[in-house]
C-alpha cells in the first residue's frame, strides 16, 4: 500500500460538519464559518530531514521550503495566506543556531506574503529534524478553483518549466505562485487548478480523477527546465527521452497546472505575457471526455504509463 492508497482508504471515515465545504482531497480544505464575502482555506504539510532536505542543507532554505510548500497549496486554490503555526520536531541535542536559521527562512517568506506566524510548538524527534506547517488563508466566496472542475474541451496550461527541481536545488528556493494564481482566477474562468508537487503525470491524474475526465498531453509543448535538459540518458523510459521523463515525473516543481475553456486560451496567453513577462506559460494539452492519460508526439498518440514521485511506497 502506498501513501495515496492509504489516504483513499482513510478519507471516507473522516468526520465532517456543516461548515466544511471541501474536506481532505483537494490542495486545501475550504471552510465556511460565516466570514462575509470569503471562505477560509486550511492546510498542513511537513518536511523531513533526509527526505525533503539533507542534514547539510542551509537552515534558512529548510525553513523557506517548509512554508513555501503550504503557500503553494493556497496558490492552488487562488487564495491569500494569512496565518501559520509551526511544529518543530528537533533532534536531541538540538543546535539553537540551526533553529534560528530555520526561523530566519520561515519569517522572511512569511513577511513577504504578510503571513503572521502565530504559534510554534517544539518537541523532540531524536533522529532527524521534522517541520510541520499549518496554514490558514482566505479566498473570495465562490471563486476557488478545485481539482474537480476540469471539463472536456478545456486546454491544459502550466507555468514555468518542469523537472530536475531536486537536482538543481530549486525545490529549496522556489517562490509559490500566489500572485499568478489569484490573477488568473480573478480574470478568467479557471476550471481546475493544482500545484505540481508530485510531478506533472501524477498531479494531472489527480485532476482527471476528481473531474471524471481524461487528457492528452502534447510532448513537444511540455516546458522542460534547464536542469531536466541535462538529465542522463539512463532516465529515458518507455521510449521517452530522459529530459521529457524528468519533466513528466519529477516532483517539487511547485508550478501551477490549470484548465480553462479552449476558446479563452489565446486571450489568457496574451494577457499573461503582458503581466508576467519573465515566467513562461505553456499550453501543453487538452482535456478529453474519454478517461485515461495519453501523450501525443510526432509518432502519434499512446498511453502515458509513467507515474510521478511517490513519497513512500510499501510492498
- Residues numbered 83 to 102 that lie near its own copies (CB under 8 A) are 83, 85-87, 89-90, 92-94, 96, 99-100
51 interacts with its own copies by CB under 8 A: yes
Residue 154's CB is within 10 A of a number of other CB atoms, namely: 27
130 interacts with its own copies by CB under 8 A: yes
CB nearer its own copies, residue 165 or residue 222: 165
In the bound complex, what is the minimum distance in angstroms from residue 134's beta carbon to its own copies? 3
Return the range that interacts with its own copies (CB under 8 A); candidates 18-26, 155-163, 202-210, 254-262: 18-26
120 interacts with its own copies by CB under 8 A: yes
Return the range that interacts with its own copies (CB under 8 A); candidates 112-120, 157-165, 174-182, 208-216: 112-120
Cell 465556511, residue located: 32
55 interacts with its own copies by CB under 8 A: no
13 interacts with its own copies by CB under 8 A: yes
Q: Which of residues 182-201 bind its own copies (CB under 8 A)?
A: none
Task: Name 300's Cβ contacts closer than 8 Å, sequence gap at least 6.
Answer: none
In the bound complex, what is the minimum distance in angstroms from residue 227's beta carbon to its own copies? 24
Distance of CA 72 to the CA centre of its chain: 6
46 interacts with its own copies by CB under 8 A: yes
14 interacts with its own copies by CB under 8 A: yes
Q: How many residues form the binding site for its own copies (CB under 8 A)?
A: 77
Judge contact between 49 and 130, C-beta under 8 A.
yes
Q: What is the full DSSP assignment across 244-269?
A: HHHHHH------EEEEEEGGGHHHHH
Closest CA to 196 of 36, 30, 61, 308: 308
Q: Which of residues 56-85 bind its own copies (CB under 8 A)?
A: 82-83, 85
Q: Which of residues 210-249 bind its own copies (CB under 8 A)?
A: none
Task: Name 150's Cβ contacts closer than 8 Å, sequence gap at least 6.
Answer: 191, 192, 207, 208, 210, 211, 213, 215, 259, 287
Amino acid at each position: 500500500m502506498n501513501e495515496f492508497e492509504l489516504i483513499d482508504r482513510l478519507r471516507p471515515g473522516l468526520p465532517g460538519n456543516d461548515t466544511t465545504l471541501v474536506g481532505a482531497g483537494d490542495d486545501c480544505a475550504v471552510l465556511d464559518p460565516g466570514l462575509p464575502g470569503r471562505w477560509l482555506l486550511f492546510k498542513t504539510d511537513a518536511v523531513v530531514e533526509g527526505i525533503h532536505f539533507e542534514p547539510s542543507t542551509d537552515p534558512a532554505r529548510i525553513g523557506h521550503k517548509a512554508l513555501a510548500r503550504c503557500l503553494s497549496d493556497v496558490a492552488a486554490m487562488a487564495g491569500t495566506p494569512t496565518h501559520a503555526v509551526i511544529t518543530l520536531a528537533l533532534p536531541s541535542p538540538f543546535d539553537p543556531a540551526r533553529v534560528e536559521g530555520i526561523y530566519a527562512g520561515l519569517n522572511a517568506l512569511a513577511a513577504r506574503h504578510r503571513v503572521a506566524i502565530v504559534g510554534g510548538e517544539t518537541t523532540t524527534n531524536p533522529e532527524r529534524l521534522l517541520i510541520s506547517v499549518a496554514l490558514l488563508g482566505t479566498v473570495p466566496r465562490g471563486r476557488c478553483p478545485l481539482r474537480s472542475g476540469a471539463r472536456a474541451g478545456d486546454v491544459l496550461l502550466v507555468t514555468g518549466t518542469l523537472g530536475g527541481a531536486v537536482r538543481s536545488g530549486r525545490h529549496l528556493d522556489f517562490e509559490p505562485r500566489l500572485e499568478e494564481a489569484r490573477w488568473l482566477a480573478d480574470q478568467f474562468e479557471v476550471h481546475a487548478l493544482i500545484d505540481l508537487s508530485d510531478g506533472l503525470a501524477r498531479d494531472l491524474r489527480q485532476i482527471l480523477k476528481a473531474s471524471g475526465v481524461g487528457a492528452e498531453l502534447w510532448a513537444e509543448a511540455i516546458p522542460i527546465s534547464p536542469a531536466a535538459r541535462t538529465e542522463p540518458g539512463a532516465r529515458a523510459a518507455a521510449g521517452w527521452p530522459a529530459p521529457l521523463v524528468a519533466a513528466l515525473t519529477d516532483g517539487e516543481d511547485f508550478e501551477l497546472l490549470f484548465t480553462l475553456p479552449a476558446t479563452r486560451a489565446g486571450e489568457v496567453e496574451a494577457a499573461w505575457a503582458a503581466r508576467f513577462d519573465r515566467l513562461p506559460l505553456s499550453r501543453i494539452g487538452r482535456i478529453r471526455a474519454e478517461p485515461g492519460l495519453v501523450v501525443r508526439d510526432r509518432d502519434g498518440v499512446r498511453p502515458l504509463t509513467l507515474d510521478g514521485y511517490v513519497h513512500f511506497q510499501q510492498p
